[in-house]
Amino acid sequence: MSTAPERTYHGAASAAGPLLFVEHTRHVALGEWVRVELPGQPDRRGQVIDAGERLTTIQLLDSTVGLAPDRADVVLTGDVATTVVGRELLGRAFDGHGAPVDGLPAPIGDAVRPINGAPINPMRRARPRDFIETGISAIDAMNTLVRGQKLPVFGGPGLPALDLAGRIVEWARAPRGEPFAVVFAGVGITARETREFMDRVRASGAMPRTVLYLNEAAHPAVERLLSPRLALTAAEYLAFDCGIHVLVVIADMTHYCEALREIATAREEIPGRRGYPGYMYTDLATIYERAGIIAGKPGSITQIPIVTMPDDDLTHPIPDLTGYITEGQLVLSRDLHRSGIAPPIDVLPSLSRLMNAGIGAERTRREHREWSDQLYATYARGREARTMAAIVGESGLPDADRRAFALADRFEREFVNQPEGRRTIDDTFEVGWKLLETLPRDDLARLSDATLEARREDVARREAP
């Protein structure tokens, strides 16, 4: 997308880390691509991140080693950041600025779109409805992911958040067989994680419906700002032009925010909370609010951003601001991880605010809600009983607390833990019902007689010859 003809400026005013400052530029566009030329050196790439009246700030995508600002020719290309989009991208892998890393030629695609897309206009948004089946019981049944939703995963350092992202990329699907695709943006992941992730997706057979954008930790910081936007631009075309339901998984938004802070520091901006720029909330919103459903369009974009919480702190600015923008959270538990539970999703602090919109028609919604509420209530009571048992011993607990104590352990080992792999939503309900059916009726206060009768009829129907 051209903004103006190429203009060349001889010599930059100064450089600071990955930033180059050029004075007295004219007709500069925010996000414009820049080429920096030096005799005897390969050209360097950059992007305009601040277009001021006196000073233009350029973020370089390549190493600044050996760069002499006063001798460099800075070429403003007249092109803003764009990417090729189209169905052709399905099954492909790219780096953080859109170059192929799978050994295949660059795609021709169906169109070229600017990567700095706008959030969906609230007046055009359709209400989220219908769920996406991730194959993970703790999500599908207890914190249901709804099409058009933004549902982040919060985990501490060392917890298997990337493994959970891999499971979701492999297992997620639209349960009624509608067209479905996954776009994954790796942000600041290691080279080993990149290789393992690509091998895992290919081995699972999910690659033909997946697009990968993989920014590694060794790559320039600005690529961490580009890769989520590249992924969302590709997803928007697949969703709203091709009518596909697209799930966008971004891992790790903490690396994205660290890159924001690094660039803000190089620009000598006044820091906000814990050194992060004051506009981080707005910047995150430009990414998260690109998820949703547009009225009259057949596709949808759903987001699962992965957020690593520094020091396991939910009040840290990154998870705190993410929680304000998104519709719930999935929280990983260090205790469950130590116990060998995979994925270690702690359902008690987790929440999907749009769950009721995606769990079926009126009757099945009521049954699902009652069933999940009963599991929540019994598991919470069991967790409290576990704490009390450490003081008075299990034999000192009331009978109902002992039953809840036992169910809490089985809930973690049999329901949350999934060593056998993917579960359908029906498989998940069956596992949950088998746990609840070990309790007497008096312990099932959240289940109505109508729901229990519907369960008995369903079992009788399946057991009938």
C-alpha angle 192-313-280 in degrees, rounded to nearest 5: 80
* More reliable by pLDDT, 313 or 80: 313
The secondary element (H helix, E strand) that includes residue 357 is none
- Structure confidence at residue 361 as a pLDDT band (50, 70, 90): low
- Classify residue 326 by burial, with Cβ atoms within 10 Å: 0-12, 13-18, 19+: buried
Main-chain dihedrals φ then ψ at residue 60, nearest 5 degrees? -85, 140
Q: Is residue 220 a contact partner of residue 49, using CB atoms and an 8 Å limit? A: no
What pLDDT is attached to residue 363? 56
> Measured between alpha carbons, how far is 383 from 407 in angstroms, rounded to an integer?
10
What pLDDT is attached to residue 14? 87
Percent of the chain with pLDDT over 90: 66
Mean pLDDT of 304-321: 94
Strand-pair category, 245-251 with 300-308: parallel
pLDDT tens digits for range 116-144 = 888 888 899 998 888 899 999 999 999 99
> Measured between alpha carbons, how far is 133 from 144 in angstroms, rounded to an integer?
8
What pLDDT is attached to residue 265? 87
Mean pLDDT of 150-177: 92
The Cβ of residue 83 has, within 10 Å, a number of other Cβ atoms equal to 23
Structural domains present in the chain: 7-79 (2.40.10.170), 83-359 (3.40.50.12240), 363-463 (no CATH)
What pLDDT is attached to residue 362? 53
Residue type, 261: R
Mean pLDDT of 361-372: 81
Mean pLDDT of 279-300: 94
The Cβ of residue 430 has, within 10 Å, a number of other Cβ atoms equal to 14
pLDDT tens digits for range 85-102 = 999 999 999 998 899 999
- pTM for the model stands at 0.90
Q: For residue 361, give the DSSP letter.
A: S
What pLDDT is attached to residue 393? 86
> Measured between alpha carbons, how far is 137 from 422 in angstroms, rounded to an integer?
9
Place of tokens 């190493």: 63
What pLDDT is attached to residue 358? 83
Strand-pair category, 93-95 with 19-23: unpaired
Mean pLDDT estimate for the chain: 91
What pLDDT is attached to residue 266? 81
- Classify residue 182 by burial, with Cβ atoms within 10 Å: 0-12, 13-18, 19+: buried
Q: Is residue 97 a contact partner of residue 223, using CB atoms and an 8 Å limit? A: yes
What pLDDT is attached to residue 3? 52
Say if residue 404's pLDDT is above 80: yes
Measured CA distances, 407 to 68, 243, 372, 419 (Å): 67, 43, 14, 19
Give the residue among 75, 88, 76, 66 at the shortest CA–CA distance from 15: 66
